[in-house]
Structure 1
Amino acid sequence: MFKRFRNSNLTDTLSQVANRRRFLQIAGAAMLISLRPANADNDLPVVLSVRVWPAGDYTRVTLESSAQLEYRSFTVKDPERLVLDIDGVDLAGPLSQLAGKVSDGDPYIKLLRAGKNKPGTVRLVFELKVAIKPQVFRLKPIGEYANRLVVDLYPENPADPLLALLKDKQKDEAAAETVVEDKSISKQKDTARQPDSSDVNLPKGAVFTVMIDPGHGGEDPGAIGSKGTHEKAITLAIGKRLRQLINEQPNMRASMTRDADFFVPLADRVKKARKINADLFISIHADAFLTPSARGSSVFALSEGGASSTAAKWLAKKENDADKVGGVSVGGGDPYLKRTLFDLTQTATISDSLKLGKTVLSEIGGINRLHKGDVEQASFAVLKAPDIPSILVETAFISNPEEESKLLDDAYQDKMAKAILTGIKRYIAKNPAAAKMKIASIG
C-alpha cells in the first residue's frame, strides 16, 4: 500500500510538471507571435527602409525589404505622375513616412505619398515636377543590403552635357577671381611644384577637357574607414577640388561623372566622358585592403591581359562589383565594358594611359608614400573607354587609420588635387601629339 501511495504521488508530480511545461510553451508561443510583424505568419515581405537620392542626373528611390516585392508601375499625364502598386505589404513603418523623405530641392519629385489601393496592395504615387522616363527593377541581397526595389526617375529631356561643362567652367573661373590671396606664400606652403598654366603650351584656341570620376556614390558607399568615413565622400571632395583647379586654367576645363551623392553605373561613367569628347578620364578612389596596415597611394591603368599583381586583380574585381552594390537594371551596360579583345585604338590608348599614370604617380609621391613605385594594371571596367587615356588614382588607404585621417584633412585633399593637376599638365607638355586637342571657344 505504501508503494502504491508513493507511485501515486510521483504520478501527480509528473502530471504537474507536464501541465507547467505546456503552459510555458503556450505563453512562449504567444510572446513570439507578439514580437513578429503582423504579416510574418504568411511570410510576406516587410519594408525595412526607404531611401531617396536626388541628383541633377536623376533621382533614385530605394525600398529595402525582407523579401522580394511584387509590383506594377505605370505613368499618368496631366499632371505628371508615376504610380507604383506593391502587393503583400503593410502601410506602416517606412512606407507611412514617405512624404518626409523628399526634399524641396529634389529636381524631379514634387511629392511622394502612399495609401491602400485595395486589400493587400499599397499604392505609391510620385507627383513629378517634369516628364520622366522611369526605370523600376529589383536587386537581390548583396553585402549589407537585403532585397531592394529601385525606382530611377530620369528626365525625358536631359541637360546638355556640353552646356553643363561650360557653366562649370564659368562658375569656377568666377570663383577664382574673387579669391584674394598672396599666391607666392600659398605656393610655398602647399608644395614646391604648384600647377602653373605656363607649363602647358596648347595651340591657340585649343581646349583640353578632363572628365573627373569620383568613385562610388549613393547606394554604393565604397570602402568604409574605422572612423566611419565613406570612400564616396572622400572621392567627391577631392574631385570637386580638382575640377575647380582645372577650370581655373585658361586652356583647360573639367566635368564630373557625379557632383553629388548619387550612384552612377560604370558604363554611364564611360559614356559621360565620351559625350563631352574628353581628352582624359581620371577616376578617384580611396580604397581598403584586407589588413589595416596597407598604406600608400597608387595609380592604375587598364590591362589588355592579366593584372600586374594579385592585389591589383583583387582591387579591380572589387571595383567592378560596384554595379552590383549600387544597383543597375538588368540589360544595361555598354559594349566597351563587355569587350575582351582590344583593337589598335585601345592598345594605343593604354600606352597613353601609362604615360599619364607615370606623371601623376610621380607628383603624388611628393605628398604621400607610394604603395607601388610603378603604374599598375588591371581590368578596371571604368577605364575601358577605347579612345580616352584613363587612369584610376588610389589617393590613400581608407582602411589605414592614419591615412583615413589624412583623407579627412582639407590640406591633404588640396595637395592631392594639385598633384593630380600637375601630373596632367606634365603629361600634356610631354605628349602633345597624344592628346586630342579640340579647337573650341570657352565663351
Structure 2
Amino acid sequence: MDDVSSFFLQKPSRLVLDIKSLDFHGFSAKLSDKAGIVKVMRHGFRNPDLLRVVLELTVDPSKLTLERESATKLTFRLKVKEGTFAVNSSPNVNSIFKVVVDAGHGGIDSGAVGPTGVLEKDITLAVSYYLADYINGHPQMKAILSRKDDSKIRLRQRVRVARESNADLFLSVHADAIKNRQARGSSVYVLSQHGASSEIARMLANKSNESDFIGSIKREKKDENLWETLVDLSQRATIDESIKVADSIIKQLSNYGPVHQPFVQYAGFMVLKALDIPSVLIETAFISNPIEEKRLSEPRTQIKIASWIYRGVCDYFGLKYFLNSEGRTHIVIIGDTLSEIAHQFDVDLEELIQFNELKSDIIQKGDLLKIPNKN
C-alpha cells in the first residue's frame, strides 16, 4: 500500500504531500480552473519511489484540515475547519506589508566611488529615503530603514533588522561599478540556490538545541531530516517569491530607461540570506559611468528610481499606486545649498527654511530636509 505523509507550511501557505510508491504509472498533475482553496500545484520526484506534491493555498493552513477518504486510494479532502472562516490570502484593506529598505554600505565603507568622487553610500541612502517615503505614503505599507545616517552596519545585522521587524520584504539598494565605464543601467539580484544552500548548512551547523529557529521555523522535537526538509522548502519558496519581486521591479525600472540586465540575476550576496523573507538587491545604475554618476547625484533621478522600485513593490503585493509622497525629503550632499535645493524642488526658499525649522541657512552633508508640497 502507498505510504503518504503530509504537513502544512506558512509564508506562503502550502500543503506538502510526500507519496511513496513503487508504481507511479498514470500519474498526472491536474488542477481545476475554478477558484478554491488550492491556487497552484507543482510536483517532483525526490527519489524514483518518492513523489513530492506541493499545493499553494489561498487559506491560512491553521484553518484547514486534511482527511484521507480511502485507505486503498490516494483520495484526500482538504476543507476548512468548523467554526473558522476561510480568508483568501490576497491583500485586503487591513493588510499592512512591512518592507525593510536597506541602504548599502555606510560609515567607513563608502562602497564604489564614481569618476568624480561621488560615493555609493551617499546615493544608496538618498534613494532609500525617497523609497521609504513612497512606501510610507501607501496606506497598506510600512518602510523600515536599516540605516538612517552615515553609519556602518554589519551585513548580518541588516538581515537581523528584517527578521526582528517581521518584514514581508527586504530591499537592498546599491549602485554598480565595473572597469568598463560605458556600462549602464539597472540590475536586480536574488539569492542563488548555491548561496542559499551554503547559508542553510551554516545555520544547521550552528543549531543544536530543541528551541532553535531557522528563519520562522521552530525546531522543537522535529526529526533531523524533517527539520532540514522544512528549512529547505521554506528557503525554496522564499527564493521563488524573491524572483517574483525582482521581476516586478526590473520590469518597472525598464520603464525608466535601459536596464543592464533585463532578467533577474542570481548571486550569493550576504544581505539576501534571510531565508524566510523575500529579498532582492537592486543595482540602481553604474556609478562608474560618468553620465550615470552625475544623474545618480541628482535628487530628481533619485526620486524617479525610487518611484519605479516602489511601483514594482506595489505590483508584487497586488496594490494600487499612491504617489503623493514624491519629493518629500532630501539628503544633503557636498556642494548643496538651500537655494539650489529650493530651486531643484520648485519651492520657496523661505518656506523650505521654515518647514524644516532651520535657524540659519547653514546645512551639512547628511542632513535630512523635508520638502513642502507645492499644493
Using the size of structure 2 for normalisation, the TM-score is 0.51
Structure 2 residue identity aligned to 1:347: R
Aligned to 1:203: 92
How far 1:292 sits from its partner (Å)? 1.1
1:422 corresponding residue in structure 2: 311
2:295 to 406, 413, 417: 406
Q: Distance in 1 between matches of 2:119 and 2:94?
A: 40
> 2:109 is aligned with what amino acid?
D
Structure-2 residue corresponding to 1:286? 175
Shift of 1:205: 2.2
Cα distance in 1 for residues equivalent to 2:248 and 2:259: 13
2:162 is the counterpart of 1:273: yes
Q: In the alignment, which residue of structure 2 is the partner of 1:390? A: 279
The answer on 1:302 being equivalent to 2:206 is: no
What secondary structure is seen at the aligned counterpart in 2 of 1:289? Answer: coil
Pairwise CA distance, 1:335: 8.2
Q: How many residues align?
A: 201
Equivalence for 1:373 = 262
User: How far apart, CA to CA, are the structure 2 residues paired with 1:371 and 1:204?
Assistant: 36
Deviation at 1:229, TM superposition (A): 0.3
Encode CA deviations 1:299-358: one digit per residue, 9 max, x unaligned: 000001279xxxxxxxxxxxxxxxxxxxxxxxxxx988xxx9961101110000001000
> Could you tell me how far apart the structure 1 residues matched to 2:264 and 2:167 are?
22
**In structure 2, C-alpha distance between the alignment counterparts of 1:297 and 1:383, rounded to whole Å:** 18
Residue in 1 that maps onto 2:142: 253
User: Which one of the candidate residues 355, 362, 370 is aligned to 2:244?
Assistant: 355
Distance (whole Å) between structure 2 residues aligned to residue 253 and residue 386 of structure 1 = 21
| 2:293 aligned counterpart, secondary structure | helix
**8 Å CA contact 1:301, 1:377 repeated in 2:** yes
- Rounded to whole Å, the distance in 2 between the matches of 1:256 and 1:335 is 23
Provide the rounded CA distance (Å) in 2 between the counterparts of 1:306 and 1:222.
22
Query: Which of residues 123, 128, 131 is equivalent to 1:242?
Result: 131
DSSP 3-state at the match of 1:295? coil
Identity of aligned residues (%): 44
Change beyond 3 A, Cα 1:209–1:226: same
Residues in 2 aligned to 1:236 and 1:347: alpha-carbon distance in whole angstroms: 30
Cα distance, 1:396 vs structure 2? 0.2
- Which structure has the bigger radius of gyration? 1
TM-aligned CA distance change 1:295 to 1:204, over 3 Å: closer
Cα distance, 1:393 vs structure 2? 0.4
Aligned AA (1:304): Q
Residues 358 and 274 of structure 1: is their aligned pair in 2 closer, same or farther, counting only changes over 3 Å? same
Change (3 A) 1:397 1:365: same
Q: For the residues of structure 1 that align with 2:157 and 2:195, how far apart are their CA atoms?
A: 24
Give the match's secondary structure for 1:206. Answer: coil
* Structure with a larger share of its residues in helix: 1
Inter-partner Cα distance in structure 1 for 2:232 and 2:260: 31
Q: Letter of the aligned partner of 1:246 in structure 2? A: I
Cα distance in 2, alignment partners of residues 231 and 273 from structure 1: 22
Cα RMSD between the aligned structures? 2.2
| SS class of match (1:244) | helix
| Amino acid across the alignment from 1:245 | Y
Report the residue type matching 1:266 in the other structure.
L
- Matched with 2:114 is 225
Q: Give the SS at the match of 1:202.
A: coil
Q: Distance in 2 between matches of 1:409 and 1:415?
A: 10
> Quick one: which amino acid aligns to residue 107 of structure 2?
G
SS in 2 for 1:366: helix
Partners of 1:285 and 1:393 within 8 A in 2: yes
Provide structure 2 residue ranges, at least 5 long, that are not aligned to the other structure: 1-89, 197-212, 216-227, 320-375
C-alpha deviation, 1:202, in angstroms: 2.8
Q: Distance in 2 between matches of 1:206 and 1:363?
A: 23
CA distance 1:261–1:269, shift in 2 (3 Å): same
- CA offset at residue 409 of structure 1? 1.4
For 1:355-409, what per-residue CA distance to the aligned partner results, in whole angstroms no more than 9, with x for missing partners? 1000100000111211111000011110000111000000000000011011011
Output one character per residue of 1:9-43: Cα deviation in whole Å (capped at 9) or x when no partner.
Answer: xxxxxxxxxxxxxxxxxxxxxxxxxxxxxxxxxxx
Asked if the contact 1:222/1:287 (under 8 Å) is kept, the reply is no
Look up the equivalent residue of 1:253 and give its one-letter code. Answer: K
Contact 1:226 1:401 in 2 (8 A): yes
* 3-state SS in 2 of match to 1:354: helix
Alpha-carbon distance between aligned partners in 2 of 1:202 and 1:244, rounded to the nearest angstrom: 21
Instruction: Give the 3 Å change call, closer, same or farther, for CA 227–335 of structure 1 in structure 2.
Output: farther
